[in-house]
């Protein structure tokens, strides 16, 4: 330190209320969507069954939330604008949280950075109103209102104009608000939501009516409204419990996967969260069915005693911390895998839709009908049947006089084979086209996995253990899961404070780069909180073995072979998709086929 520098002692000051609220607003209200989330959650906590949200200019100039909840008494309005004043907890137990809000920060934070007005009426009392601008409260005054609460927030961040520079376009902010409302609508299927954009001519952006009936049926109806009927048609109900944790919701079939993780919605005790642990568990449950560039779609709800999860981790309350993270992760993985196994050979209905779409190419020139086409020459006699044409057209028609009726069999009865790879079967309501190689590859793969689960993974001892130098923290993380790695054939043990020794590797992998494998596992642990790296590699080898051991493309199959394959598919879980998540068969309903030919 320079001797000429004066020795200035910093002075500790108590910040004033306005500054404290603006600082809190920076944590709680990052953008207009954050303000909407806080206000709508307050409405839900107030017992509202109808919530209307109006926004203008992406929420920058206006956010108005109207609800029919219990309301706020006139005498409580000034207190509602005070920091850490809340009706939801008494402060004695911060783990026993049953509401969305509990920190008492949202309203004073919004009042510190925008122009906030609260109008409310409780049953049996007159309506009242209070306003706050830049942290300065007005007096409470009478107001006309039938019931509930109306909160109006204008000119967000006018008191902190620097924050406005970090906002995105009006369209992007409006989309973020819509996403928030959709997540809350999924969490509360018995509440009616309506989101309107009142910039210029008012228009309804999103609207869902309150659902009725059984909670799972109500959730299915709400998910159909929010995510579309296709998701509801192609998802499986999840309802399972383990050691005080209850998992429910709907998960889509692997063949209804997405190109990005945009259709993954996770909730803990009804609260929408973005949690790395839960997201990793969802990915782990599907990793055996999807390639790395595909992502599952799901809406999953984990419910438990509030004492088992801490929601007071982040001011925005979007992160949670489970008392037993392994239990939560295991519940999701096992619950989803059990449900997917129960779906059997089922593939998503969108596969048929995509197939029909592919059969309707754009017509860029006048259609040429069969009688107008040039002759192909005398390839076959005019009176030749399909059997005589099989060699020329790479197809065979199968006589199946003794086969069961198609209506008794989900995948029907084989009627023919096309291009020595595709089995055509007749069902009670249409037809099925099966990729014989992809289907049999999945069947062999499932058998290999079952054998591995029953007999364990054989390990091969390294002649000279490989020593991998790591940080003490990484060593500790690996040794915590050493038992799980050993079950997969990877044997490790401590080798000093900053290294581990790899003594065994999975025999099925052959010669491996143990150091690279260890670092891959650590990367997954850091990213997901768990690792499937070894298991993924083993199952990739099993998949490769299954590919080589399956029915090859280009092979003729007898009628009994084709029907045996169909029956085995019906009896084998996950046979609706190949090892990379692509469908193994396409089902076309007779009505769809008739539409292709204009017969409707």
Question: What pLDDT, on the 0 to 100 scale, is given for residue 496?
Answer: 79
Spell out the residues 6+ positions from residue 89 whose beta carbon is closer than 8 angstroms to its own.
Answer: 96, 97, 99, 102
| Same structural domain, 509 and 551 | yes
Contact between 272 and 184 (Cβ < 8 Å)? yes
Q: What number of H helices and E strands is found in the chain? A: 19, 24
Question: Tokens 């019906």 — which residue?
Answer: 570
> Nearest to residue 199, comparing CAs of 322, 94, 61, 74?
61
Rounded to an integer, what is the distance from CA 286 to the centroid of its chain? 11
437: domain CATH number?
3.30.1370.100
> What is the rounded CA–CA span in Å between residue 524 and residue 329?
15
Asked whether residue 365 is domain-assigned, the answer is no
Asked whether residue 324 is domain-assigned, the answer is yes
Asked whether residue 500 is domain-assigned, the answer is yes
Asked whether residue 367 is domain-assigned, the answer is no
| Same structural domain, 424 and 334 | no
HSE, side-chain direction, 13 A CA sphere, residue 397: 7
pTM of the model: 0.69
Total domain count, the chain: 3
Contact between 170 and 26 (Cβ < 8 Å)? no
Asked whether residue 9 is domain-assigned, the answer is no
- Which of 208, 229, 258 corresponds to the end of one domain? 208
DSSP one-letter string for 507-567? GGG-S--HHHHHHHHHHHHHHHSS--HHHHHHHHHHHHHHHHTSPPTT----HHHHHHHHH
Question: Tokens 């850490």 — which residue?
Answer: 84
| Same structural domain, 204 and 249 | no
301 burial type by CB count under 10 A (0-12 exposed, 13-18 middle, 19+ buried): buried
> What is the rounded CA–CA span in Å between residue 534 and residue 199?
54
Tokens found for residue 224: 């159909």
> Nearest to residue 206, comparing CAs of 224, 189, 182?
182
| Same structural domain, 532 and 419 | yes
| Same structural domain, 171 and 37 | yes
| Same structural domain, 451 and 577 | yes
Q: What is the DSSP letter of 385?
A: -
Beta pairing, strands 50-56 & 192-197? parallel
What sign does the dihedral 373-431-351-391 (CA atoms) show? negative
| Same structural domain, 57 and 165 | yes
C-alpha distances in Å from residue 228, one per residue of 27, 213, 221, 511, 592: 34, 20, 10, 48, 21
| Same structural domain, 104 and 37 | yes
Contact between 543 and 578 (Cβ < 8 Å)? no
> What is the rounded CA–CA span in Å between residue 578 and residue 525?
28
Q: Which residues, in sequence order, are bridge partners of residue 474? A: none
Asked whether residue 383 is domain-assigned, the answer is no
Asked whether residue 357 is domain-assigned, the answer is no
- Which of 175, 208, 241 corresponds to the end of one domain? 208
| Same structural domain, 472 and 494 | yes
Q: Which domain range does residue 398 map to?
A: 392-600
Question: What pLDDT, on the 0 to 100 scale, is given for residue 486?
Answer: 83
Contact between 464 and 455 (Cβ < 8 Å)? no
Spell out the residues 6+ positions from residue 475 whose beta carbon is closer than 8 angstroms to its own.
Answer: 494, 497, 498, 499, 500
Provide the strand spans (E) within 164-316.
Answer: 192-197, 203-208, 235-242, 245-252, 264-268, 271-273, 298-303, 309-310
Largest CA distance in the chain: 110
91: domain CATH number?
3.30.565.10
> Nearest to residue 87, comparing CAs of 51, 236, 98?
98
| Same structural domain, 62 and 189 | yes
What sign does the dihedral 501-503-504-505 (CA atoms) show? positive
Question: What pLDDT, on the 0 to 100 scale, is given for residue 377?
Answer: 42
Question: What pLDDT, on the 0 to 100 scale, is given for residue 84?
Answer: 56
Contact between 112 and 24 (Cβ < 8 Å)? yes
- Which of 170, 187, 208 corresponds to the end of one domain? 208
Q: What is the DSSP letter of 256?
A: G
DSSP H stretches of helix in 359-499:
386-393, 436-455, 472-480, 482-487
291: domain CATH number?
3.30.230.10
| Same structural domain, 584 and 502 | yes
| Same structural domain, 486 and 412 | yes
Asked whether residue 128 is domain-assigned, the answer is yes
Backbone angles phi, psi at 408, to 5 degrees: -85, -5
Torsion of CA 36, 39, 40, 45, to 10 degrees: 160
Spell out the residues 6+ positions from residue 436 whose beta carbon is closer than 8 angstroms to its own.
Answer: 417, 421, 422, 423, 551, 553, 555, 557, 562, 565
Question: What pLDDT, on the 0 to 100 scale, is given for residue 17?
Answer: 62
Predicted confidence pLDDT, tens digits, the chain (600 residues): 455 555 677 877 766 666 665 555 555 678 899 899 989 998 998 899 999 999 999 999 999 999 999 999 998 888 888 765 554 444 444 454 445 544 457 788 888 888 999 999 999 899 999 998 877 788 999 999 999 999 999 998 887 777 778 888 999 999 999 999 999 999 999 999 999 999 988 999 999 999 999 999 999 999 999 999 989 888 999 999 998 999 999 999 888 888 888 899 999 988 888 888 888 889 888 877 777 778 899 999 999 888 888 765 555 556 778 888 888 888 998 899 888 888 776 666 666 666 656 555 444 444 433 333 344 444 444 344 444 444 445 666 666 555 556 557 888 898 888 888 899 998 888 889 998 888 888 887 788 677 777 777 788 899 899 999 998 888 888 888 888 788 778 889 998 778 999 998 888 767 878 888 888 788 767 765 666 666 666 666 566 555 655 666 667 888 888 988 898 888 888 888 776 677 888 888 888 788 777 776
> What is the rounded CA–CA span in Å between residue 237 and residue 216?
8
What sign does the dihedral 405-406-408-412 (CA atoms) show? positive
Contact between 366 and 598 (Cβ < 8 Å)? no
């Amino acid at each position: 330190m320079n001797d000429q520098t004066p020795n200035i002692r910093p002075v500790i000051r108590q910040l004033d209320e306005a500054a404290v609220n603006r600082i809190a607003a920076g944590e709680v209200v990052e953008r207009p969507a954050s303000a909407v989330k806080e206000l709508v959650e307050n409405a839900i906590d107030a017992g509202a069954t109808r919530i209307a949200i109006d926004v203008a200019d992406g929420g920058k100039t206006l956010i108005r939330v109207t609800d029919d909840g219990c309301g706020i008494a006139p005498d409580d309005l000034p207190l509602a604008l005070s920091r850490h004043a809340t009706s939801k907890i008494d402060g004695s137990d911060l783990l026993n949280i049953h509401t969305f809000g509990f920190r008492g920060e949202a309203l004073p934070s919004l009042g510190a950075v925008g122009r906030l007005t609260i109008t409310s009426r409780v049953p049996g009392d007159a309506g009242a109103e209070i306003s706050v601008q830049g942290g300065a409260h007005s007096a409470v005054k009478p107001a006309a209102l039938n019931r509930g609460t109306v909160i109006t927030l204008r000119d967000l961040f006018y008191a902190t104009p620097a924050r406005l520079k970090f906002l995105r376009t009006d369209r992007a902010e409006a989309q973020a608000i819509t996403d928030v409302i959709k997540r809350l609508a999924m969490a509360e299927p018995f509440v009616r939501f309506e989101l309107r954009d009142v910039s210029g001519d008012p228009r309804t952006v999103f609207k869902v009516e309150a659902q009725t009936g059984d909670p799972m049926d109500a959730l299915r109806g709400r998910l159909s409204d929010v995510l579309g009927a296709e998701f509801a048609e192609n998802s499986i109900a999840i309802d399972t419990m383990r050691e005080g944790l209850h998992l429910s919701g709907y998960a889509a079939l692997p063949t209804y996967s997405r190109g990005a993780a945009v259709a993954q919605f996770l909730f803990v005790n009804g609260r929408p969260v973005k949690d790395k642990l839960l997201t990793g568990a969802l990915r782990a449950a599907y990793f055996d069915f999807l390639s790395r560039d595909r992502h599952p779609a799901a809406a999953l709800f984990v419910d438990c005693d509030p004492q088992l999860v801490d929601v007071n981790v982040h001011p925005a309350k979007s992160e949670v911390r489970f008392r037993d993270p392994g239990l939560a992760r295991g519940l999701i993985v096992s619950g989803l895998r059990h449900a997917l196994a129960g779906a059997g050979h089922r593939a998503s209905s969108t596969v048929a839709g995509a197939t029909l779409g592919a059969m309707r190419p754009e017509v860029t020139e006048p259609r040429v009908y069969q009688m107008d086409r040039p002759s192909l020459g005398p390839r076959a006699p005019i009176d030749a049947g399909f059997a005589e044409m099989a060699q020329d057209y790479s197809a065979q028609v199968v006589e199946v006089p003794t086969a069961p009726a198609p209506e008794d069999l989900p995948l029907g009865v084989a009627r023919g084979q096309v291009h020595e790879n595709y089995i055509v079967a007749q069902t009670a309501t249409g037809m099925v086209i099966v990729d014989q190689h992809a289907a049999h590859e999945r069947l062999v793969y499932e058998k290999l996995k079952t054998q591995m689960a029953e007999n364990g993974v054989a390990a091969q001892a390294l002649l000279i253990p490989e020593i991998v130098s790591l940080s003490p923290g990484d060593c500790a993380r690996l040794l915590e899961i050493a038992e799980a790695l050993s079950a997969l054939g990877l044997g490790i043990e401590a080798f000093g404070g900053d290294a581990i020794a790899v003594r065994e590797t999975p025999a099925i992998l052959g010669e491996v780069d143990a150091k690279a494998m260890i670092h891959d596992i650590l990367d997954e642990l850091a990213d997901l909180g768990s690792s499937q790296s070894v298991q993924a590699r083993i199952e990739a080898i099993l998949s490769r073995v299954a590919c080589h051991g399956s029915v090859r493309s280009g092979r003729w199959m007898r009628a009994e072979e084709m029907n045996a394959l169909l029956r085995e598919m019906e009896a084998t879980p996950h046979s609706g998709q190949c090892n990379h998540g692509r469908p193994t068969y396409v089902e076309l309903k007779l009505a769809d086929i008739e539409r292709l030919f204009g017969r409707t």
